[in-house]
Structure 1
Amino acid sequence: MTITSLSGLGIVALFLLLMLLFAFTGQKKSRLPLRPIPAFKRLWRTIGLAVEDGTRLHLSVGRGAVNAPESASAFVGLRMVQRIMRTVSISDRHPIVTSGDGALNILSRDTLQASYKAMGQAGQYRPSAGRLTGPTPFSFASGVMSVIADEEVSANVLIGHFGPEVALILEAGDRKNNLTLAGSDHLPGQAVLYAAAQEPLIGEEVYAGGAYLQAGNAHTASLQAQDVLRWLVILVILGGAVLHFLGLGNLIPIG
């Protein structure tokens, strides 16, 4: 194996060890405060208003295939669905979860059903609450637009794999004066969200949703591990710059 491959494996192993460390230590002491992200604060307020007004939340986990790299953001979205369900369970109108992949739709329905069972409301679950709106980018967006227009939705939470077609979804939300919190792992989708979404989540903020919604100790541990690795990367970059400045760049192994 090359040095690059070994370095990659080392980083993954270090990240897992840090996650385990912070997960165990976090159970024994109070958690450190998280960096404020206004989008999540506004989301909590909107969820409360939706419950009071009797309107519905729409959550979408995108169209990423579960056997592909983009599934990571979709799983974050599913975890957020599970957490939000604890809060809106008393609402007259339960959330709708949309997706653009068949397997992801099955997972969405399973997440909803498990959430209702955990709250002792198994009879409230309806399979139609998890919807496959379309298998292609624009058919998916078209189906989501119909949900926003016809289901008395007051807020949209879009966390998953979205491309430029997300602009159509944002437009549908704006027409209904809905709050839209959205994040994507796809760069073209992020560009659209940054320009058009009311509350865009950029970069790693997409994967921080579980921690900010208090979905579990593992999510907070993951953020802390990311912070440690970020500082390590910064130190490595600065160290490399210093070595090159001193004419010792040949000491850095490459390959």
Structure 2
Amino acid sequence: MTVGGFILALNALLPPSNIRGTTCVGDTTAGLMITWDRSPGAELYDIYLVDSAGNKTYLATTNQKYNRYKHFDVRAGQSYTFIVSAIKGDTSAESAPFTITFRPSWFDLTRLNNLLFLIGFSAVFFAYLFIARRGIPMSIRRIAGLEELDNAVGRATELGRPILFIHGLSTISELPTVAALTVLKHIGRKAAEYATKLLVPNNDPLVMAASQEVIKEAYTEAGRPDLYNEDDIFFVSPEQFAYAAAVNGIAIREKAGAVFLLGYFYAESLMFAEVGQSVGAIQVAGTSATDQLPFFVASCDYTLIGEELYAASAYLSGDALQIATIKAEDIFKLLTVIIIIAGAVAETIGWKFIFDLLMT
């Protein structure tokens, strides 16, 4: 009996312990963050609010991973009492009542981890800016698709065929379009140097206007403003497949020597790439649309994958400050991957400290 009672005591569900509270601030997020030490074996936690008469009001249920609850219905200077109940099957164990007074403060300590990450990223960012301003050489790994831009323009020139630049379907406010305009300026400058016709059909009027200004500036910088023709950058259609059909017709009739597919694409991506392949054009594609990348990889000569398109400006210009920002982002991404891997390992073996650190 004694041995059985000892085993039963070991298996008994313990109530949550070390309950503590922190004041959270914000225009819409002010409240009390209640945290507690996990109960071994607990599957769920029920949180209750206790009034002055000792009556309990159910607030919420969290699973065994989340040992915290945020209570929003608070008033400055008022005290609140909470009870946390650990649950396992039909068994429950309540904590002792915990009372905290809500006092608004300037800092939300529950988001301290966000501040630390921001400080860390800023430190890395400004360190690389300092390196760039000191003139210390920095480089980005070779990106084949960007290296071949000039060769593609040169091949179109040798063949006596025009260059076709396709933005995709994103608007001027979207990042892929902005990145594509940077590459377009570089291509426009080379096209002006080689006196090669550059065609840019558009499905958005604002993208068309931006493209006209970018190419006009590129031709001026190349010393050939006389070759700029505004009619070569034109509006086609805002409809997806009407635009795709028109662009494919242009590629076939003009027998494009080089096709650049840079921007954000949808189902029309393979239509563009197949037609470009059929007319014998050298094709360079780039997009952040992951579901369209396989089609570009299969049918284009070179493909910029995801953020390679965004790095184009720094890569093509060689500007030290732009390269510094790319370097800082890469370091922070590496640290993020390390934290994710460490968190997965820690969660697998039952260590919760990384999970708690990242929780807000």
TM-score range, shorter-chain basis? 0.7 to 0.9
The structure whose Rg is larger is 2
- 1:20-35 pair list within 5 angstroms: 22-23=128-129, 25-35=131-141
- SS of the aligned residue for 2:186 comes to helix
CA RMSD of aligned residues (A): 3.0
Matched, 1:47 2:150: no
CA distance in 1, matches of 2:300, 2:111: 38
Partner residue in 1 for 2:222: 119
- Partner of residue 259 from structure 2, selected from 156, 161, 169: 156
CA distance in 2, matches of 1:226, 1:122: 37
Closer, same or farther: CA 16–242 of 1 in aligned 2, 3 Å: same
- Partner of residue 195 from structure 1, selected from 279, 298, 305: 298
Instruction: Give unpaired runs (5+ residues) of structure 1.
Output: none
- 1:31-110 pair list within 5 angstroms: 31-67=137-173, 71-110=174-213
Higher share in strand: 2
Q: Per-residue deviation at 1:246?
A: 5.7
Partner residue in 2 for 1:169: 272
Matched, 1:254 2:359: yes
Instruction: Count the aligned residue pairs.
Output: 252
CA distance in 1, matches of 2:216, 2:287: 25
Question: Which shows bigger deviation, 204-213 or 24-33?
Answer: 24-33
CA distance in 2, matches of 1:54, 1:188: 34
Q: Per-residue deviation at 1:171?
A: 1.2
CA distance in 2, matches of 1:76, 1:198: 20
Q: Per-residue deviation at 1:12?
A: 7.6
TM-score by length of 1: 0.83
CA distance in 2, matches of 1:152, 1:196: 17
- SS of the aligned residue for 1:156 comes to strand
Q: Per-residue deviation at 1:137?
A: 1.4
- 1:128-167 pair list within 5 angstroms: 128-167=231-270
Partner residue in 1 for 2:56: none
- 1:177-192 pair list within 5 angstroms: 177-192=280-295
CA contact (8 A) 2:168 2:261 kept: yes
Of structures 1 and 2, the one scoring higher in RCO (CA 8 A, sep 6+) is 1
Q: Per-residue deviation at 1:235?
A: 2.3
TM-score by length of 2: 0.61
Instruction: Give unpaired runs (5+ residues) of structure 2.
Output: 1-25, 30-107
Q: Per-residue deviation at 1:148?
A: 1.4
Closer, same or farther: CA 53–29 of 1 in aligned 2, 3 Å: farther
Closer, same or farther: CA 254–151 of 1 in aligned 2, 3 Å: same
Question: Which shows bigger deviation, 91-100 or 13-22?
Answer: 13-22
* Deviation sequence 1:211-235 (CA, Å, 0-9, x none): 3323644542332122111211122
Q: Per-residue deviation at 1:194?
A: 3.0
- 1:232-243 pair list within 5 angstroms: 232-243=335-346
CA contact (8 A) 1:58 1:96 kept: yes
CA distance in 1, matches of 2:255, 2:136: 40
Q: Per-residue deviation at 1:53?
A: 4.0
CA distance in 2, matches of 1:130, 1:24: 40
Q: Per-residue deviation at 1:59?
A: 1.5
